[in-house]
Chain A
Amino acid sequence: MKRAACVLTALAALASLHPAVLAGQQAFSQGLTIQVGVASGLTVLRDRDLNFGNLVTNSGVTTVTLASANVGKLHIYGGQNRTVNITLVPPATLKFGTNTIPYTWGGAYNEQLNIPTDPTTVTLAATTATFRLRDTGPTGNYDQAYLWIFGSVTVGAVPPGVYSGTFTISAAY
């Protein structure tokens, strides 16, 4: 808002200078369009958690793929066509008390389509990535992109229970 105020002040100064500069010349009128762009705040919203469902002790590796119905899902929305940098912090294990099962993370994003299996979806190779918000939001004044979280767990000889962890996604521009 401070920058926007400076712009308006400058425009007012220009308007006050205008009659002096134009003295002795033919009269004319000039409309001036004043624009102020307000950037949307960046927001990351969780749409669905990642759930591996019910697994059995010693069942080995279970994978939730990008195409699975229970893949974790988020969307990121902010300024139109903005480039965002994201950082993922996946849990290394899922925990039930002091018991753990290993978790191997997977992630993917799509700048424009809410379709995880679309050919334009990009699978993440690292825990950081940069992409653009290209899908016009419902109200037209912000753009969004989509992010999916998946992966696999390995269940060995562990006690029955609900094993869980927290996968943090940070975004900035």
Chain B
Amino acid sequence: MRKAYLFIAAALIGMPAVAAAQSSANASVSVTATVWKGISITPNSGALDFGTVIAGQAGAPTISATGGSAASFAVSGQGGQPISVTWDASTSLPGPGATPLTFNPTVVGNTVNVNTSGTTSLSSGTHNATLTAGGAYYVFVGGNLSGLAASTTPGSYSGTWNMSVAY
């Protein structure tokens, strides 16, 4: 009998009443995506034209990025966001001769469409400029030509130089 009592007691203690307790809960996760206006860059001027240069002339032909002959670009995107302006470090300009000329850029930027004052010298790289609250930025390009020598074959030399922007 003693064993019987103990068995009953053990059974009562081990009843699954508490283990079967039910409970429920919930929580929520916020799912978020921030959408920005697409970024673009548009030429505001024609080609960067060095005009006529003389084979063997003293000094490298140069166009100032803050002068009237500079090429200009308008950048548009999400207002207030930093952007990365990158470009080719140099560009080969093939011509009629065996040796091309080389274009070496100089780049400045401004928050307004003016390159004669208030510009900032830019280096190609990450987050090197910031769009205005209205989402604008302006880039002006000058540079010089290297490789011009007395032996340079006369003729027209041209090439394509690339610039890109990203957030």
Contacts and interface: CB of A to CB of B under 8 A. Distances in A.
Interface string B14-38: 0101110111111111111111111
Given A18-B5, A39-B23, A170-B25, A164 B31 contact: yes
B29 A52 contact: no
Nearest to A76: B25
Interface in A55-80: 55-59, 62, 72, 74, 76, 78-79
Range of interface residues on B (Cβ < 8 Å): 20 to 34
B13 A7 contact: yes
Contacts of A149: 29, 31
Contacts of A164: 30-33
A13 B107 CA distance: 95
Given A43-B25, A78-B23, A166-B28, A17 B5 contact: yes
Nearest to A150: B31
A109 B78 CA distance: 37
Interface in B148-167: 167
Interface stretch (A29-37, A114-122, A124-132): A29-37
Contacts of A158: 35
Nearest to B81: A54
A39 B2 CA distance: 31
Range of interface residues on A (Cβ < 8 Å): 35 or more
B12 interface: yes
Contact of B29 (A38, A94, A167): A167
A153 interface: yes
Given A44-B26, A56-B167, A3 B15 contact: yes
A140 interface: no
A108 interface: no
Interface of A: 3-4, 6-7, 10-11, 14, 17-18, 21-22, 30, 32-46, 48-59, 62, 72, 74, 76, 78-79, 90-91, 94, 96, 101, 103, 149, 151, 153, 155, 158-173
Interface of B: 1-2, 5-6, 8-9, 12-13, 15, 17-19, 21-39, 78, 167
